A and B are shown apart, each in its own frame.
Chain A
Amino acid sequence: MIRKEEETHQTMDEAAILARTRAYVHDTFLYMRPGFSLGDQDRLLQRGVIDSMGVMELIAFLRSEFGVVVADDDITESNLGTLADIARYVRAHSNGNGRKAAENGAAGAAA
């Protein structure tokens, strides 16, 4: 997947982030379990999708794909525990989006 950086970072809404992350997680962590059904609210760790080494890889993906640098203290289950959590976190930390956007994003995901 090659796309222009600015397009990626500025125009992506949370649904698109979610879709792309979902595809990535399937490609990376679930390619050997094609029948596995993963809901957006499913806990990635508890369902055996990802382990802490996998989280490192996920973080590298978030950086290269969305330009989001995950601080060490942000590596928590509330930020990265589910696909939906990840999309919300990325949306909140993408270029040009401050804390307000994060709150809106969270509200949007809940709706």
Chain B
Amino acid sequence: MCGIAGIARRNRGSDAHLTRAVSVDALHRMAGALRHRGPDGSGHYVDGRVGLAHVRLSIIDVAGGAQPLGNEDGSVLIVYNGEVYNYLELREQLARAGHRFRTRCDTEVLVHAYEQWGTAMLSRLNGQFAFAIYDRNTDTIFLARDRFGVRPLFYSLSGGDLVFASEAKALFASGEVAPELDPVGLDQVFTFWAARPPRTVFRGVSQLEPGTCAVWTGGDGLLRHARYYELEYPEAREESADALRDLGDLLDSSVALRLRSDVPVGGYLSGGLDSSITCGLAAKGSPFSLRTFSVTFDDPRLDESEFQRLVANQLRSRHQIQSIGPADVAAVFPDVVRHTETPLLRTAPAPMYLLARLAREHDIKVVLTGEGSDELFLGYDLFKETAVRLFCLRQPASPARPRLFERLYPYLDPRGRRGDFWRHAFLDAGAPDDPLFSHLPRFLLTSRIKDFYSADLRSALAGRDALEDLREALPREFMRWSPLNRAAYLEMVTLLSPYLLSSQGDRMSLAHGVEARYPFLDTRVFEFAARLPTGSKLRGLKEKAILRRWARVAGVVPPAVQQRTKQPYRAPDVPPFFTGSSPDYVQELLDESHLARTGLFEPAAVAGLVRRCRAGTAMGFRESQALVGILSTELWYKQFINDARPLARPAELSRLHQVPAAL
């Protein structure tokens, strides 16, 4: 896993003297800003108008995989972040077509795949990746990102000049892009939990959408986008007779591909069904004892260590635990925000940050995780909630049906999960013909943070409606899918990709040079799940039904975990900042005069929130998300906007060295 960056200036023809050459210093600064993603090496290529930089985490062909990497004559160069798991199969095909390989690494396979198939190569790749290919013959740069958005790619296009990088901080380090707030991006965070690609919270900074690519042409300085993969849900009427066997084969193959590595692969273990499956299959497929890593919480309501131990014992894995208390979250939260590069509504990324650090301390730089399964197999309570809401609204007069709401969210205080108020929050949230029906309760709850907006922020957003923007961006077939498949799609594009895979995934693990791999997010597993009848996934109110059936037959997971109800992963939100004495940064950033200077939130309203947090009375989601949202926004603003420093520290530069592009 790695970090990539580049600068490409438009060809101004006879006005070429107006074009500044790309400076090696700028590339060094960009690489320096990405150093955590690739501590094992770095390199750059520069050629007048175009420069590429790369920092490397060596996983496959540790000795031979330096980048930027070129084809035989150096006319096609790549910087690449990720893994293409079927690279051995592609390499064989390309070799048969006459391509010569100098290394064993997947990077070189992509260069030849581009030569062979051009941009159509993307449909052949099974993996998690973001890359840029500079074709000197055509003066183009081909940018691409994987189907589900596991790996990031940010860019800025100004006056025809393109600047791109794995993280936004590298764009700012280049000196070509100034960090500024995008209020519309911020408003999306406070609606969906994350800005919706291609938008980000930085004005003028975009992210390539998952499943898309773009070609920049030096001649006209334009960036032309294309989608190569669309999520689709061709739901079958009935489950096929071979479904269980097919699912097993797919999971076996998906895990096996993700064990391809020249360094040891470990596993994150949550104690739930999904990571127990990925670790179980990994342990089965490896001759060595697997290393597993878990987060445990001091708060017994959040803790799952009993089940983690159960699974680790069955797998005989070498198990390491990161125990998390409020003070641990508080200590790392500013760094977490620096890595996520976005305001957050939960502290949940912080334990993932500490878990990656733990893995790295044990010399593990590749881990498998169970992420993606809940989206594919309808694991979340949100899907049950959607089913119950539909069921109730079909017979509004039924007194019995709304009682089903009491079976949702079993981890919340049971006294708050019954009665009129609980039901009506769901039943009044929207009508089934609204495309966003499934997610309106969550979106409306999240949007309560907007009550804290300052008058200035409100006026900057006048006329914008984040929900309406999303409705307009949905695929054409969307309303032809079943309501639960619509819900699954919304979950994939609004939460999984821009939040879970980013703020809790890529950014947290690569903050410590650890690459996460996602067996459930194999294209073939997604397509298998998307074809299943809804009843195979959510059976009554039992989530992930087919996965449980398979797990029972396959025996890779202890029986207690096979039948365990989905437990959401949560970290303490308010206690880190208001237990005992608050961290200095909390006092500083939530101070009324500071808030007034930033100008995003109403200081008096925040003072009310702080008063209630101090008193220990701010217990519900509304206030915990407001606290984390406001505090993280202020941390983000301070680190990216106020403290914007265009130059990286010299210490980070001294370790960089040049690698010849084409050997």
Stretch at the interface among A15-23, A45-53, A88-96, A97-105: A45-53
Q: How far is the CB of A54 from chain B (nearest CB, A)?
A: 6
* Chain A residues with CB below 8 A from B553, complex form: none
Is A32 located at the chain interface by the 8 A CB criterion? yes
Whether the pair B620, A45 counts as a contact (CB closer than 8 A) is no
Residue of A32, A51, A77 near B445 (CB, 8 A) is A51
Question: Given contacts A46-B428, A51-B620, are A32 and B421 in contact (CB under 8 A)?
Answer: no
Whether the pair B605, A53 counts as a contact (CB closer than 8 A) is no
Whether the pair A75, B413 counts as a contact (CB closer than 8 A) is no
* Max chain A Cβ within 10 angstroms of own Cβ: one of B415, B421, B452: B421
Q: Which residue of A lies closest to B428 (CB)?
A: A46
Residue of B417, B425, B608 near A32 (CB, 8 A) is B608
Is A4 located at the chain interface by the 8 A CB criterion? no
Whether the pair A31, B419 counts as a contact (CB closer than 8 A) is no
Q: Which residue of A lies closest to B451 (CB)?
A: A32
Is B416 located at the chain interface by the 8 A CB criterion? yes
* Chain A residues with CB below 8 A from B452, complex form: 32
Question: Given contacts A33-B451, A56-B413, A57-B619, are A45 and B421 in contact (CB under 8 A)?
Answer: yes
Residue of B420, B451, B612 near A75 (CB, 8 A) is B420
Residue of A27, A34, A51, A75 near B425 (CB, 8 A) is A51
Whether the pair B608, A77 counts as a contact (CB closer than 8 A) is no
Q: Which A-B residue pairs are the 4 nearest by beta carbons?
A: A31-B608, A53-B620, A32-B605, A52-B421
- Count B interface residues, CB 8 Å: 29
Question: Given contacts A31-B605, A31-B608, A51-B445, are A57 and B617 in contact (CB under 8 A)?
Answer: yes
* Chain B residues with CB below 8 A from A53, complex form: 412-413, 416, 619-622
Q: Can you report 7 A-B residue pairs in the complex whose CB atoms are below 8 A from each other?
A: A27-B608, A32-B451, A32-B605, A45-B420, A46-B428, A72-B419, A80-B421
Is B592 located at the chain interface by the 8 A CB criterion? no
* Alpha-carbon distance A90/B364, docked complex (angstroms): 61
Whether the pair B604, A34 counts as a contact (CB closer than 8 A) is yes
Whether the pair B422, A52 counts as a contact (CB closer than 8 A) is yes
Using a CB-CB cutoff of 8 Å, which residues 406-459 of chain B contact chain A?
A: 412-413, 415-422, 424-425, 428, 445, 448, 451-452
Residue of B412, B418, B609 near A72 (CB, 8 A) is B418
Whether the pair A55, B421 counts as a contact (CB closer than 8 A) is yes
Q: Which residue of B lies closest to A33 (CB)?
A: B451
* Alpha-carbon distance A54/B619, docked complex (angstroms): 9
Whether the pair A54, B622 counts as a contact (CB closer than 8 A) is yes
Is B602 located at the chain interface by the 8 A CB criterion? yes
Known contacts A31-B609, A32-B452, A77-B424, then 10 further A-B pairs from the complex at CB < 8 Å, ordered by chain A residue: A27-B608, A45-B428, A51-B425, A52-B417, A53-B622, A55-B421, A56-B619, A57-B620, A75-B419, A75-B420
Interface residues in chain B, defined as those with a beta carbon under 8 Å from any beta carbon in chain A: 412-413, 415-422, 424-425, 428, 445, 448, 451-452, 602, 604-605, 608-609, 612, 617, 619-622, 626
Q: How far is the CB of B403 from chain A (nearest CB, A)?
A: 13
Question: Given contacts A32-B602, A32-B605, A75-B420, are A56 and B415 in contact (CB under 8 A)?
Answer: yes
Chain A 63-80: CB-based contact to B (< 8 A → 1; otherwise 0): 000000000100111001
Q: How far is the CB of A96 from chain B (nearest CB, A)?
A: 27
* Chain A residues with CB below 8 A from B602, complex form: 32
* Alpha-carbon distance A48/B638, docked complex (angstroms): 32
Q: Which residue of A lies closest to B609 (CB)?
A: A32
* Chain B residues with CB below 8 A from A54, complex form: 620, 622
Q: Which residue of B lies closest to A54 (CB)?
A: B620
Q: How far is the CB of A57 from chain B (nearest CB, A)?
A: 7
- Grouping DSSP codes into helix (H, G, I), strand (E, B) and loop, the B interface class, with mixed when no group exceeds half, is helix
* Chain A residues with CB below 8 A from B428, complex form: 45-46
* Alpha-carbon distance A75/B617, docked complex (angstroms): 20
* Chain A residues with CB below 8 A from B448, complex form: 48
* Max chain B Cβ within 10 angstroms of own Cβ: one of A31, A33, A45, A76: A31
* Max chain B Cβ within 10 angstroms of own Cβ: one of A28, A52, A72, A75: A52
Whether the pair B425, A45 counts as a contact (CB closer than 8 A) is yes
Q: How far is the CB of A44 from chain B (nearest CB, A)?
A: 9
Whether the pair A45, B424 counts as a contact (CB closer than 8 A) is yes
Q: How far is the CB of A64 from chain B (nearest CB, A)?
A: 12
Q: How far is the CB of B38 from chain A (nearest CB, A)?
A: 43
Whether the pair B419, A51 counts as a contact (CB closer than 8 A) is no
Whether the pair B419, A52 counts as a contact (CB closer than 8 A) is yes
* Chain A residues with CB below 8 A from B626, complex form: 32
Q: How far is the CB of A53 from chain B (nearest CB, A)?
A: 4
Q: Which residue of A lies closest to B414 (CB)?
A: A72
Question: Given contacts A53-B619, A56-B413, are A76 and B425 in contact (CB under 8 A)?
Answer: no
Chain A 26-39: CB-based contact to B (< 8 A → 1; otherwise 0): 01100111100000
* Max chain B Cβ within 10 angstroms of own Cβ: one of A34, A51, A56: A51
* Alpha-carbon distance A57/B621, docked complex (angstroms): 13
* Alpha-carbon distance A75/B419, docked complex (angstroms): 6
* Alpha-carbon distance A48/B429, docked complex (angstroms): 11
Q: How far is the CB of A3 from chain B (nearest CB, A)?
A: 19
Q: How far is the CB of B444 from chain A (nearest CB, A)?
A: 8
* Chain B residues with CB below 8 A from A52, complex form: 416-417, 419, 421-422, 425
* Chain B residues with CB below 8 A from A80, complex form: 421
Q: Which residue of B lies closest to A59 (CB)?
A: B415
* Max chain A Cβ within 10 angstroms of own Cβ: one of B413, B419, B428, B445: B419
Q: Which residue of A lies closest to B450 (CB)?
A: A32
Whether the pair A51, B421 counts as a contact (CB closer than 8 A) is yes
Question: Given contacts A72-B415, A75-B418, A76-B420, are A51 and B622 in contact (CB under 8 A)?
Answer: yes
* Alpha-carbon distance A56/B623, docked complex (angstroms): 14
Q: Which residue of B lies closest to A51 (CB)?
A: B425
Whether the pair A75, B619 counts as a contact (CB closer than 8 A) is no
* Max chain A Cβ within 10 angstroms of own Cβ: one of B415, B602, B604, B612: B415
Q: How far is the CB of A10 from chain B (nearest CB, A)?
A: 27
* Chain B residues with CB below 8 A from A31, complex form: 605, 608-609, 612
Q: Which residue of A lies closest to B417 (CB)?
A: A52
Whether the pair A77, B451 counts as a contact (CB closer than 8 A) is no
* Alpha-carbon distance A55/B424, docked complex (angstroms): 13
* Chain B residues with CB below 8 A from A27, complex form: 608
